[in-house]
Amino acid sequence: MNELPLWLDALLAVLVVAGATFALIGSWGLARLSSFLKRLHGPTKATTLGVGCVLLASSLWFSVTSGRPSLHELLIALFLFLTAPVSAHLLIKAAMKLDPTQRPAEPPSADSAGSVNS
């Protein structure tokens, strides 16, 4: 097995630790936040970024050690980044349909948004 340069070893370690930290923060948000909509925010943002960092580190490691580009991880990341927002959007729409009280207040009208009292 090839020994990696120190700078690449450090970069891979930083990516894995950052990914694990983001995943932990997202999981903690899922467990600790109060409402469904708040709980959904943690995994869709932080955990997606955490998995992305780990996949990038994995892709770099396999590309360097095998001597050819590793595209499996990039395909997984593409699938993750396309499906996570869509599934979160569908879950939010379903939650709002089941409990209409979760809907935000009416958005401000166009007339009152930019007006300044003179």
111 in a domain, yes or no?
no
110 in a domain, yes or no?
no
108 in a domain, yes or no?
no
Per-residue pLDDT of the chain (118 residues; tens, 9 = 90+): 568 889 999 999 999 999 999 999 988 888 888 888 888 877 788 888 898 999 999 999 999 888 888 888 889 988 988 888 888 889 888 988 888 787 766 666 666 555 555 4
Assess contact for 42 and 50: CB atoms under 8 A: no
78 in a domain, yes or no?
yes
Assess contact for 87 and 112: CB atoms under 8 A: no
Domain that holds residue 82: 6-100
Q: How many domains does the chain have?
A: 1
82 in a domain, yes or no?
yes
Structure tokens at 94: 């379903």
Q: How far is CA 23 from the centre of its chain?
A: 9
90 in a domain, yes or no?
yes
CA 38, 39, 40, 41 torsion-angle sign: positive
Which stretches of the chain are DSSP H helices?
6-32, 36-42, 48-66, 72-98, 110-113
Cα–Cα dist 92/40, whole Å: 8
116 in a domain, yes or no?
no
Q: What is the pTM of this model?
A: 0.73
